[in-house]
Structure 1
Amino acid sequence: MFYFLGQLGDQLSALNVFIYITFRTGASMITALFFVFLFGPRIIAGLRVRQGKGQPIRDDGPQSHILTKAGTPTMGGLMILSGMIVATLLWANLANPYVWLVLLVTVGFGAVGFYDDYLKVTRSSHAGFGGKARLGIEALIACAAAYAVTSFGQPPFSTALAFPFVKDFLLNLGWLFIPFGAFVMVGAGNAVNLTDGLDGLAIVPVMIAAATFGLIAYLSGNAVFADYLQIHFVAGTGEIAVVCGAVIGAGLGFLWFNAPPAAIFMGDTGSLALGGMLGATAVATKHEIVLAIIGGLFVLEAVSVIIQVASFKLTGKRVFKMAPIHHHFEHLGWTESQVVIRFWIIAVVLALVGLATLKLR
């Protein structure tokens, strides 16, 4: 909305500031932060009244969780999404198709997660939305988004896969880019979902990844910077930085209430939405492989579950004491704060490695 004030810059030069992506990204971050601060307590109070017993706690998990986390409301992703959407609508260029692409994937995945949370709360059970049905809906949303990405750009680049550390090589996937892009988005959404198991564990790595991809989107969408760094220029993706700024601001506001002991959990509403948002950003900016580096913590969590399930089905034995892997470390004797903070450190290191791919080509 405010972006269009910049169009009046020739009449009042002070309005030119609304043209700059950097200014609007910062403003988006602050707007989302204060929105969550302002409305967060009301949202938490409303969810606590409606949910009663709150999010069901796993019986097979650490016993401390049953004592300390019981009764905590879930669906805190509503706080994040509302702050993000309001800030984006206020500060992003709404004529930019990439803004709507990322928003629609985020909201679509969030809606799936909301329904899953709703079923869990109303049934007082971990059995939410059926796995196949949930993945099917996510895949449909992601395929539509991947197809949109191919239509925004010019072929063959729009259907090509770029590789980090390599300057010029592109692998043209053709129509296979659509299922590939969908896989990235669905995989990212569910990987973040699996990571969301401890207070603050998921939201901080998400903010770190959003900040990193905000910078990547800004650089990829700027022809001068993209040429200097020898990365692929994707016209229009710079505006995604404003969306990433909104995620960071809303995430900071949510963390205020999610810090141990959490007053609210993110739930599938938030984790699926934020993971989908990161996946959509990676696909739009042609940094799908870099997402696996920057979001390596999420990949680790997802792989630990895959290994655990495969091992148990094939051999009847478990590789980890409990999956996802953050629970494994809890069973080894790490405190919750040790697991969370150490995983944050890993997320920072991986983000730095991901950023290094921009120059090491």
Structure 2
Amino acid sequence: MLYYLFRFLEQFGVSGSGMWSYISFRALLALILALVISAWFGEYFIKWMKRHNISETQRDASIDPFGVQKINVPSMGGIIIIVSILVPCLLLGRLRNIYLILMLVTTVWLGLLGFLDDYIKIFKKNKDGLPGRFKIVGQVLLGLFVGLTLYLSPDATIRENIEMQQHGQTTEIVHKSQAVKSTKTTIPFVKENNFDYAELVSFCGKYKTQAGWIVFVLVTIFVITAVSNGANLNDGMDGMAAGNSAIIFIALGILAYVSSHIEFASYLNIMYVPGSQELVIFTCATVGALIGFLWYNAYPAQIFMGDTGSLAIGGIIAVLAIIIHKELLIPILCGIFLLESLSVILQVEWYKLGKRKGVKQRIFKRTPIHDNFRVLPSQLDPECKYLCKWPHGAWHESKITIRFWITTIILAALTIITLKIR
């Protein structure tokens, strides 16, 4: 809103109004505003929740070897994050930008889905919350909406990067002059770094392009569902999901910026995505919201994120990566989320396999994987066979969180480096 106001005032020569046309100015302002809103609103939200005795069901203290009791800690902290994202974006963003619209819809939709889950846990005293199938349906519907919007919207286009040989071995990267709709995405570690989903269905002949878009929509649904659930599993320790997500969004913000800048896109040999600069506003607002939330969520947490925040954050990451055609980098960038999900899947399947053989067995001491690091030998089931008993001692929750942050920083740096490692 303020963007349009100051662009209007610029026509009358109002001093300083021209600054609102700069992405860097609006992005940094969004970060600061989101951080301030998150810190200020968070304090009042926590007090209001405590005053009305609205808190998550007591967490099981037996899983913490240090015996930390987490009683009467408010949940639904994702509301703080979502409000802190939406307000700066509505004030500072170009609201007619299709990509920003998609991000706002994603935030609200998954926020509501997570809120419903938290509501059932807190007010209905049902620790299982919203049945998993309803979450999956909500994520699938969002993926379908995002995929079809990117297919149907005339504003969702790219300019493909191509290599041109000049003066012998010198190679120059240029972009096609015409912006087109495309099912291509960036694939890491290969020289020809554009992969077209339509090539997977080349057997469809003249219908290859249409079939390629079907594959793209299916990939979109899968990525959104997987990353959203991965972020949800990662939200198990104070500051864990918020810190990891903030790091991931910084990397995505860099990728969005270089994708929206034709000179940087040429230098890195990636697709130019016109209009994606508004995503930088969104990512900066999200980083500010998460950092502000960490003020209260860092150990010992004064409030939990809840599914209201974790489901939304995961979905936002996925949609943002899909829009800038970098979804195949997610396994690297969101390696922690992937590890959390795989640990649960492998643990369940390994346990089921042993049960059929009449053997009690597990791969890890406990899952999701972050819980594996805070289990004492005395807490292990003596009748169960464990493939992995490392570490032999328990780490403190804050140490686990910081080490996961460090791992995510390394993965984020590696993700950006992949644009040049081919």
Shorter-normalised TM range: over 0.9
Question: What is aligned with 1:211?
Answer: 250
Q: Which has the larger radius of gyration?
A: 2
Structure 1 contact 77–270 (Cα < 8 Å) conserved: yes
> Residue 398 of structure 2 corresponds to which residue in structure 1?
337
Post-superposition Cα deviations, 1:41-93, rounded to whole Å, max 9, x if no partner, equal 1111222234545344147633656x421211100000010011001111111
Kindly indicate whether residue 137 of structure 2 is the aligned counterpart of residue 113 of structure 1: no
SS in 2 for 1:262: coil
- Could you report, residue by residue, the CA deviation over 1:89-112 in whole angstroms, capped at 9, with x for unpaired residues? 111111111001011112111111
> Given that residues 32 and 84 in structure 1 are in contact (C-alpha distance below 8 angstroms), is that contact kept between their aligned partners in structure 2?
yes
Give the match's secondary structure for 1:307. Answer: helix
Q: Is the 8 A contact 1:56 1:124 kept in 2?
A: no
Question: Is the aligned partner of 1:315 residue 2:354?
Answer: yes
Q: AA paired with 1:349?
A: I
Q: Residues 7 and 352 from structure 1, CA distance in 2 versus in 1: closer, same or farther, beyond 3 angstroms?
A: farther
Report the alpha carbon displacement of residue 233 of structure 1 after superposing the two structures with TM.
Answer: 1.1
Note the C-alpha offset of 1:165.
3.0
Say whether the 8 Å CA contact 2:242–2:290 is kept in structure 1: yes
Is residue 48 of structure 1 aligned with residue 54 of structure 2? no
Output the amino acid matched with 2:232. N
Work out whether residues 58 and 126 of structure 1, in 8 Å CA contact, stay in contact via their aligned partners in 2: no
Gaps spanning 5+ residues in structure 2: where?
Answer: 159-179, 199-211, 356-360, 376-392
- Structure 1 residues 52 and 83: CA distance shift in structure 2, 3 A: closer
What does 1:29-178 align with in structure 2 at a 5 Å threshold? 29-58=31-60, 61-62=63-64, 64=66, 67-152=68-153, 153-154=156-157, 157-166=181-190, 167-173=192-198, 174=212, 175-178=214-217
Distance 1:119 1:286 in 2: 36
Shift of 1:266: 0.3
Cα RMSD (Å)? 1.8
Please report how far the alpha carbon of residue 232 of structure 1 lies from its aligned counterpart in structure 2 after TM superposition: 0.9
Structure 1 portions without partners, runs of 5+: none
Contact kept, 8 Å, 1:200 with 1:255, in 2: the verdict is yes
Q: TM-score, normalised by structure 1?
A: 0.95
CA contact (8 A) 2:66 2:396 kept: no
Distance 1:233 1:294 in 2: 20
Name whichever of 257-266 and 142-151 sits farther off.
142-151
Counterpart Cα distance in 1 of 2:111 and 2:215: 26
Q: Which has the higher helix share?
A: 1
List aligned pairs for 1:195-344, cutoff 5 A.
195-316=234-355, 317-331=361-375, 332-344=393-405
Deviation at 1:154, TM superposition (A): 4.6
Identity over aligned residues, as a percent?
A: 36
8 A contact 2:116–2:130 mirrored in 1 = yes
2:59 paired with 1:20: no
Give the direction of change, closer, same or farther, for the CA distance of 1:168–1:58 in structure 2 (3 Å limit): same
Determine the C-alpha separation between the residues in 2 that align with 1:22 and 1:267: 32
Describe the SS at the equivalent of 2:182: helix
Structure 2 length-normalised TM: 0.81
How big is each residue's C-alpha offset from its partner over 1:15-45, in whole Å with a ceiling of 9 and x where there is no partner? 2211111111100000011111222111112
CA distance in 2, matches of 1:319, 1:70: 31
1:100-127 Cα distance to aligned partner (Å, 9 max, x none): 1011112111111110011111233321
Contact 1:149 1:158 in 2 (8 A): no
Q: CA deviation at 1:183?
A: 1.0
Equivalent residue for 2:161?
none
1-side partners of 2:58 and 2:222: how far apart?
Answer: 29
> Aligned equivalents of 2:95 and 2:108: distance in 1?
16
- How many pairs does the alignment contain? 360
Q: 1:41 to 1:13 in 2, by over 3 A?
A: closer
Cα distance in 1 between the residues matched to 2:364 and 2:265: 43
- Quick check: 143-152 or 158-167, which moved more? 158-167
Residue 55 to residue 81, structure 1, CA distance change in 2 (3 Å) = farther
Distance in 1 between residues matched to 2:227 and 2:144, nearest whole Å = 14
Distance in 2 of aligned mates of 1:39 and 1:46:
10
Per the TM alignment, residue 157 of structure 1 is displaced from its structure 2 partner at its CA by 4.9
